[in-house]
Every structure is written in C-alpha cells, then in structure tokens.
Structure 1
Amino acid sequence: MGTLMSTGELNMQAILFDVDGTLLDTEHMYMLALQAVLADAGYQVSYEQVYATFGLPSVEALAYLGFTKRPDLVQAWQERCQNYQARVQPFPGIRTMLTTLGQHYQLGLVTSNQAAEFLEHDRPFNLSTFFPVQVFAGQTKRRKPAPDPINLALKQLACPPGQALYIGDSLHDMQAAHAAQANFGLAGWGTTVRQPFLGQADAIFEEPAAVSEQVGRL
C-alpha cells in the first residue's frame, strides 16, 4: 500500500499535488507526441529516451535530449499532443482519494503546466473543483525544483511548510518540496522509479488509497 519514511507525528494541515504522473496519467500523450514530432524532424528517438524527460517543462525536456533553442519543436510538440488527448485519464482511485482528503485537509495544486493546458486536460474529469488553491507555470519567477510554486500555494493556504505534504512523482517534485521545507510523498502509482527516493522521500505511496489511509500517520 505505502511506506512511511518518517517516524514523527505531524499535525498535517494541507496536502498539495502535482498533476502529470500524479493525478492524471498523461505519460503516453506527452511521450508519443514528442516521439512523433522528433521523427517528423528526422530524429529517431526511442520511447525509453523520451520517457526520461517525463515531468520536465517542454524546453527543458528538449534540451535534455540535445535540442536547445528549438521553439519550432516546442510548438509542434504542444500541437501534436492534441492527437493523443484521449489517452489522458485520472489514475484509478484519484477521485475517491481527493473526496476523502478534502473532508479533513486543505488541498492545493502545484504544477509546471500552464493553466490553460491543465484545464484542457482536466475538462472531462473536473478534478480542478477539489482544489481551492492552484499554482501554475508563470505564477512564480522560478519553477520546480525551486520552492517558489509550493511557497506560493502554502502562503495562499496560510499553512506552515512543516504541516504540508506535497505529493508528486519526480525528483524535481521532491527537491521543490524539501526546498520549501515541506514534506514529500512519492506518488508511486505514477512512476516505476524508487531508488532515488529511498531514504529521501518522507513517504512512498503505492496507490492513491494509501494516501487517504496513511497520511494522518505521518
């Protein structure tokens, strides 16, 4: 179900969530679109190679693959994602988890998505209604892994960082949470990677139900 890495009792007030790989399964939409765009440009890149960029902002993802200063590829990637929109779904159990948590904690959204991008992906599911506080790309000077987006959400929630838990699926998410002095929980249902988080994440949740069941024990 889940693994608690911390042993102290914390008075948790707020739970913040990443989007891609945490609430919404957007992997195939982004990765297949990127792979197709690069193929159109004459570059054969494996799925494993593009997957290594999952969760990074588009400019950083392309730079990781060796394509710097290529706004044409960024634009083409964003447009191609529309062809794979039907592949986006909430992970199983997400709505039930949010319904349960919302009865006991303040909820917030902190993502590197643009607001319009998230709302387009979320339109069929309406998960946005669970989050009175939502922080998107462009609302802070720095993005994750800097703490700024999480700091902004916590300020709006009037929640001390030590009483907040940020749940995400990437190293950037964990680095941002800890830089903000908040707790971090790995959304284990959204990633197969474990090694970098062992001994570093405050909790590892293997499925959404584990968050509802165990967050009060952090």
Structure 2
Amino acid sequence: MDRAAVFDVDGTLVDTNHLHVTTWWEAFRQAGHRVPMHAIHRAVGLGSTDLVAHLLGEDRDKDQDDSLSAAHTTLYAQYFDRLPALDDAGRLLRRLHEDGWRVVLATSASGAELGALRRAIDADEAIDATASADDVEEGKPAPEPVEHALELAGVPAGRAVFVGDTVWDMRAGSRAGVRCVGVLCGGIPRADLEGAGAQAVYADPADLLASLRESPLA
C-alpha cells in the first residue's frame, strides 16, 4: 500500500514564521491595533481569519478582517523572491519520494504565496499534491487540511505521517488520525508540540533526514 508523508510548509520546510510575525504586526499596527509579537508568533499557522479572531477576539470589528489580511499579504509579498528554505528541506522530500512515500503539502498558503514557497523548497519533482487554503472550508487546527491531503494521496490515515511546526499542526494531524512529527524550527517548544500530539520531535528537516531510519517515517 502507498504511504503518505504530509508536510506543513511555513516554519516546517521554509524559514518564514518570523517574517509572518513581523508583517502581521505591521498590518495590525497600521489598523490601529497593538498586538505583541510573541502572541502573533503563537498564532502563526492559523488561517488569516482564524489568526485575526484568535488575536483580536470575537468582539472585534469583523469588517476589518479582509483589510488586515490584505495588508499582511502585501507586506509579506515583498519577500517572495527570497524566502529561505530550511536546511535539507528539498533533500528530505526527494528522499521520501525515492523511498516510495507520496509527498503532499498541507498549507494555509495559496496563490502566489504558495508558488513562492514551492520555489524556495525547489523539490517539485518530489511533491505529489498540495492541499492549500483554497481547497478547504476550515483551516488548522481543524482536521480538514490533513484529511484533504490524504484524499489527494489516496492513502488512509493509518498509512500517513504529518510533519509540522506548530500546535495547530499537531492538533489537526491528531484529529485526522495520523501520526504527527514536530519540528522545532518554527520556534515552538518541544513540550508544547508533544502536548498537542507530536509522537516525535526533531530540530529541523536536516535533523529529521539524518534520523530518518529511527523516525516514524522509517
């Protein structure tokens, strides 16, 4: 039977979490909101609307949601031509592909942003499918992004592993019934990832690649 290796992208394969923190902070500032950077960092990984709701609360002016998201997108887009892949991210995907895994990306990014992330990873030949924000109604921590990735791979949850860097990733994967692997390169502590469902935690893609034979992706 086929196996699926499902990957989050931001903070997992590409070193973008702190770029998101800075650009969301500026988008909030421009709209008159003072939101601490540490709070934004903990919210990275949520879809735009969920991130705004998480940080500003349900009693916010929801008419601002679209303009906040658009401002973040515009600010973040200035980095599209130089997004840095994490060490060995592309090599990890190519190795798994060579080992017979169906590699699927599950990300809240879409459109030009997703294209920029894929260019940074530079491993399109190893990626079988992508489940983007455009494909689902609910983002992480809902299981739908991971479930959709499994549908694209044609693989049941018991034959899949999900790799991510946030508690939202771990919760989404756990709710979808897949084994979850955490990476620390997004800046979230090991204990938080394990508490949210990570069965194993590695420093980054290079560490996971070096430890592949002993990992859930063996």
TM-score by length of 1: 0.83
Q: CA deviation at 1:12?
A: 8.3
Question: Which structure 2 residues correspond to residues 59-208 of structure 1 after superposition, within 5 A?
Answer: 59-66=49-56, 67-69=60-62, 70=64, 71-85=66-80, 88-104=83-99, 105-198=101-194, 200-208=197-205
Please name the residue that 2:9 is paired with. Answer: 19
Cα pair distance change 1:212/1:143, threshold 3 Å: same
Deviation at 1:146, TM superposition (A): 2.0
Against the structure 1 CA distance between its residues 68 and 191, is the aligned structure 2 distance closer, same or farther, given a 3 Å change threshold?
farther
Match of 2:206 among 185, 209, 214: 209
Q: Give the superposed CA RMSD.
A: 2.3
Structure with the largest fraction of helix: 2
- 1:24 is paired with a residue whose SS is coil
Identity of aligned residues (%): 27
The 3-state SS of whatever aligns with 1:172 is helix
| Structure 2: distance between partners of 1:197 and 1:52 | 12
Q: 1: CA distance between counterparts of 2:155 and 2:207?
A: 23
Question: Alignment partner of 2:11: what SS?
Answer: coil
> Contact 1:20/1:55 (CA < 8 Å) preserved in 2?
yes
Q: Tell me if the contact between 1:26 and 1:87 (Cα under 8 Å) persists in the aligned partners.
A: no
Distance 1:35 1:87, change over 3 A: farther
Instruction: Name structure 1 gaps, 5 residues minimum.
Output: 1-10
Unaligned runs of 5+ in 2: none
Structure-2 change in CA distance of 1:79 and 1:201 (3 Å): same
- Counting matched residue pairs gives 208
1:7-47 CA distance string (max 9 Å, x none): xxxx9822110011101111232221122222223334332
Name the CA distance, whole Å, in 1 between partners of 2:172 and 2:32. Answer: 35
More divergent stretch after superposition (44-53 vs 127-136): 44-53
Q: In the superposition, relative to structure 1, how do residues 202 and 215 fare at CA in structure 2: closer, same or farther (>3 Å)?
A: farther
Distance in 2, Cα, partners of 1:156 & 1:38 = 35
* SS of residue matched to 1:185: strand
Structure ranking higher on relative contact order (CA contacts 8 Å, 6+ apart)? 1
SS at match of 1:65: helix
**Alpha-carbon deviation of 1:140?**
2.5
Whole-Å Cα distance in 1 between the matches of residues 78 and 52 of structure 2? 19
Q: 1:76 to 1:134 in 2, by over 3 A?
A: same
Cα separation, partners in 2 of 1:68 and 1:111, compared to 1, 3 Å:
farther
Which stretch shifts more, 42-51 or 145-154?
A: 42-51
Distance in 2 of aligned mates of 1:144 and 1:192: 16
TM-score, normalising length: structure 2: 0.83
SS of corresponding position for 1:90: coil
Partner of 1:53: 43
Deviation of 1:213 (Å): 4.2
CA distance in structure 1 between the partners assigned to 2:146 and 2:117 by the alignment: 22
